[in-house]
């Protein structure tokens, strides 16, 4: 089953509860981007928002740490209510240790790759992961155009998945909408993360239904 995870980075922050309520019945999880202004050129939201959402909703929270020192915050995000925690390959000097730490806190462990990072870098750790998040835009800002070479990268990871870790989830984030979602899934994606396409539409729930219908 393909899962749709609306990214609240594109939600209305003045009416965040209203934005979440609009997608709650149709979304499979909520994607929360945490940015530090250092690893990526933007600052977004953090622990208080994760904790607040978790206190009201039971939907799984998929937290993506776009930060330079994720290991310092793994415990905190677990306690705040994260169900899945994603760290970046590019900033984890001891990635196996980071993954083990995430799992020890009861969360699913995902590793994300920036568009320029080769897929083969994960070959020696992919068997230990619950999932991989392929960035199909350069991380930091919503509303960017999907990078076409991402399809090849998804396919390459899918081949690695088949031979090493068949249960691996493949998430893709950046520039996905109803025009390209089917291509992304055909390439091997199992989790679609979409922000602007959903929250900037006239009817976010209808947009999710439309995406699922295309699949």
Asked if 83 and 61 touch (Cβ cutoff 8 Å), the reply is yes
Q: Give the separation between CA 165 and CA 84, rounded to whole angstroms.
A: 18
Catalytic residue among 12, 28, 33, 148: 33
Q: Give the separation between CA 83 and CA 105, rounded to whole angstroms.
A: 10
Q: Give the separation between CA 188 and CA 171, rounded to whole angstroms.
A: 9
33 given a catalytic annotation: yes
62 given a catalytic annotation: no
Distances (CA, A) of 134 to 18, 90, 137, 204: 29, 13, 9, 23
Q: Give the separation between CA 137 and CA 199, rounded to whole angstroms.
A: 18
* Chain CA centroid to CA 12, Å: 19
Q: Give the separation between CA 128 and CA 193, rounded to whole angstroms.
A: 22
3-class secondary structure, 132: strand
Catalytic residue among 71, 130, 173, 179: 173
Q: Give the separation between CA 146 and CA 154, rounded to whole angstroms.
A: 13
Q: Helices in 29-187 by DSSP H: which ranges?
A: 47-56, 74-80, 95-104, 150-164, 181-187
Residues identified as active-site: 33, 173
């Amino acid at each position: 089953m393909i899962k749709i995870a609306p990214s609240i980075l594109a939600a209305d922050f003045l009416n965040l509860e209203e934005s979440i309520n609009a997608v709650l019945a149709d979304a499979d999880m909520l994607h929360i981007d945490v940015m530090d202004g250092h690893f990526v050129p933007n600052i977004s939201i953090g622990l208080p928002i994760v904790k607040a959402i978790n206190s009201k909703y039971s939907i799984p929270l998929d937290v993506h740490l776009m930060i330079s020192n994720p290991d310092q915050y793994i415990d905190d995000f677990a306690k705040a209510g994260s169900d899945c925690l994603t760290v970046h390959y590019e900033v984890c000097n001891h990635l196996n240790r980071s993954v083990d730490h995430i799992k020890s806190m009861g969360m699913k462990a995902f590793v994300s790759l920036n568009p320029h990072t080769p897929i083969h870098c994960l070959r020696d750790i992919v068997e230990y992961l619950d999932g991989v998040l392929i960035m199909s835009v350069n991380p930091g800002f919503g509303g960017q155009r999907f990078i076409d070479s991402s399809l090849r990268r998804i396919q390459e990871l899918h081949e690695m998945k088949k031979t090493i870790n068949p249960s691996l989830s493949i998430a893709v984030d950046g520039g996905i909408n109803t025009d390209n979602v089917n291509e992304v899934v055909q390439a091997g994606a199992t989790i679609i993360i979409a922000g602007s396409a959903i929250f900037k539409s006239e009817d976010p729930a209808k947009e999710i239904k439309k995406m699922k219908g295309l699949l």
